[in-house]
């Protein structure tokens, strides 16, 4: 897949002297869903704002479909829809009017049939004549999405789109994202709900302290870093792990009745068979066994902690 957004050695130093981006390189592929994960203050919003041409880079270069976001701002911005983290809406503007107006801002010819389809897809059609101040927080968020999509952008940035949104609405938002992907729209999202990123993203980028730590296909990342845990429940509690089992680096539960073994699920030999016979040789009787797969959240927390 070709890159639609290309970020080269991007640095951003704010007027305060704070360096929020420290040489970021990133290629966003056309048609993909890229989840940008990072702890608070990592630089996600700064990166997105710079790609969208809202924040000026200190050095480095960003192009969107070949257009430089600084020297060719209008052409690049027209291709982008941005759903900001903060809710910024004119309180007295009606939903339909807001969507139509935003489309006009980007120089697109009016297309009420498209706006209607969009509002229906976002379950806002019934509210089209309502003023934005009369809407709930979740509905306001959907209006932001409608406004971001009103000019039919090829790239959509969603900065924390589901913050403060209830479970049902979150689900319906992800359905909208899936439908956009099916239409070929490239989607970049930041979210603190890592399990959502795990479910929906094609690739994961992790940013911390203004640096990209990794960019990788989600499935590869899960295979590469996804460790598995085997929890062994014993028939009787033990005070200490027998010496003969030291090599397995087991962790004894507080009750003395469970032992946890971590292994690399990608490895050819997991060591489980050897472990089980060593347990039996040590005279331990098993009551139950359970396995658990590392989630993207575990991987993320591990990566960011390693950096700290």
What is d(CA 69, CA 56) in angstroms, rounded to the nearest whole number? Answer: 9
If one counts every other C-beta atom within 10 angstroms of the C-beta of residue 225, the result is: 19
For the CA atoms of 79, 83, 85, 89, what is the dihedral angle to 10 degrees?
A: 120
Minimum CB distance to ligand ATP smaller for 153 or for 210:
210
Is position 92 an interface residue for ligand ATP (rule: CB under 6 A)?
no
- Shortest reach from residue 187's CB to ligand ATP, in Å: 17
- Shortest reach from residue 238's CB to ligand ATP, in Å: 44
The residue from 2, 16, 239, 246 that contacts ligand ATP (CB under 6 A) is 16
- Shortest reach from residue 84's CB to ligand ATP, in Å: 11
Q: What is the DSSP letter of 243?
A: G
Stretch of 11-19, 67-75, 250-258, 275-283 contacting ligand ATP, by CB under 6 A: 11-19
Is position 18 an interface residue for ligand ATP (rule: CB under 6 A)?
yes
Is position 40 an interface residue for ligand ATP (rule: CB under 6 A)?
yes
The residue from 4, 34, 45, 230 that contacts ligand ATP (CB under 6 A) is 45
Is position 88 an interface residue for ligand ATP (rule: CB under 6 A)?
no
Stretch of 39-47, 179-187, 264-272, 292-300 contacting ligand ATP, by CB under 6 A: 39-47
Coil, helix or strand at residue 194: helix
CB of 25 within 8 A of CB of 9?
A: yes
CB of 142 within 8 A of CB of 173?
A: yes
Sign of CA dihedral 228, 232, 237, 238: negative
The residue from 46, 76, 102, 121 that contacts ligand ATP (CB under 6 A) is 46
- Shortest reach from residue 10's CB to ligand ATP, in Å: 12
What is d(CA 63, CA 71) in angstroms, rounded to the nearest whole number? Answer: 10
The residue from 28, 44, 119, 169 that contacts ligand ATP (CB under 6 A) is 44
- Shortest reach from residue 112's CB to ligand ATP, in Å: 35
Is position 225 an interface residue for ligand ATP (rule: CB under 6 A)?
no
- Shortest reach from residue 9's CB to ligand ATP, in Å: 18
The residue from 26, 35, 38, 212 that contacts ligand ATP (CB under 6 A) is 38
Alpha helix (H) residue ranges in the chain: 44-51, 73-78, 95-105, 112-121, 137-149, 167-182, 194-200, 218-225, 272-281, 296-307
CB of 65 within 8 A of CB of 4?
A: yes
Report which of 82, 154, 146, 148 is spatially closest to residue 120, judged by C-alpha positions. Answer: 146
Which residues in this chain contact ligand ATP in the complex, by CB under 6 A?
A: 14, 16, 18, 20, 38, 40-46
């Amino acid at each position: 897949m070709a890159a639609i957004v290309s970020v080269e050695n991007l640095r951003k130093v704010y007027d305060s002297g704070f360096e929020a981006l420290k040489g970021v390189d990133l290629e966003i592929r056309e048609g993909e869903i890229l989840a940008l994960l990072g702890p608070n203050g990592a630089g996600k919003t700064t990166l997105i704002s710079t790609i969208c041409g809202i924040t000026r880079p200190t050095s480095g270069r960003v192009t969107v479909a070949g257009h430089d976001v600084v020297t060719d701002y209008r052409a690049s911005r027209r291709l982008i829809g941005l759903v900001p983290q903060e809710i910024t809406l004119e309180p007295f503007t009606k939903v339909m009017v807001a969507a139509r107006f935003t489309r006009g801002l980007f120089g697109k010819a009016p297309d009420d049939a498209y706006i209607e389809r969009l509002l229906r897809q976002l379950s806002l059609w019934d509210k089209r004549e309502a003023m934005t101040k009369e809407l709930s927080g979740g509905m306001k968020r959907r209006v932001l999405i409608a406004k971001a999509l009103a000019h039919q952008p090829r790239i959509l940035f969603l900065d924390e789109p589901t913050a403060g949104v209830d479970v049902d609405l979150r689900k319906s938002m992800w359905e909208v994202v899936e439908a956009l992907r099916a239409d070929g729209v490239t989607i970049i999202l930041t979210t603190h709900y890592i399990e959502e990123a795990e479910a929906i993203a094609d690739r994961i980028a992790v940013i911390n302290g203004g640096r990209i730590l990794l960019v990788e296909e989600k499935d590869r990342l899960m295979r590469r870093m996804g460790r598995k845990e085997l929890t062994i429940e014993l028939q009787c509690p033990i005070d200490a792990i027998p010496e003969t089992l030291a090599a397995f680096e087991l962790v004894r539960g507080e009750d003395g009745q469970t032992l946890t073994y971590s292994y690399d699920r990608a490895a050819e030999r997991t060591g489980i068979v050897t472990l089980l016979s060593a347990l039996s040789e040590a005279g331990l009787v098993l009551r139950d066994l359970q396995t658990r797969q590392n989630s993207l959240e575990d991987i993320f927390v591990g990566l960011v902690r390693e950096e700290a």
